[in-house]
Amino acid sequence: MANEDKVKGPASYFPAIEKKYGQPVSYWLELIGELKDMKHMERVNWLKAEHGMGHGHANAIVGYCLSQNKQ
């Protein structure tokens, strides 16, 4: 795979997230999308507390969700 074809940013974590937590990324994005009253780090902390997600993975999911939805 050429360098320009590599996935960068938060999406680069998606395969590892799906493998480690057993759910497709769409599942996590839907959960985070429902937390409209929470700020970025509140959502990250929620994923960590409620689903045992690591900080980097939680931050990647939240960052991607917010960048796509402009919430």
- Containing domain of residue 53, as a range? 11-69
**Cα torsion angle, 52, 56, 61, 67, sign:** positive
What's the pLDDT score for residue 51?
97
Residue 45 lies in a domain: yes
In the three-class reduction of DSSP (H, G, I as helix; E, B as strand; rest coil), residue 60 is classed as helix
Residue 23 lies in a domain: yes
What's the pLDDT score for residue 2?
54
Say which amino acid occupies 31: L
What's the pLDDT score for residue 48?
98
Residue 1 lies in a domain: no
Could you count the other beta carbons within 10 Å of the beta carbon of residue 38? 15
Residue by residue, pLDDT tens for the chain (71 residues) are 455 678 788 889 999 999 999 999 999 999 999 999 999 999 999 999 999 999 999 999 999 999 987 55
pTM: 0.85
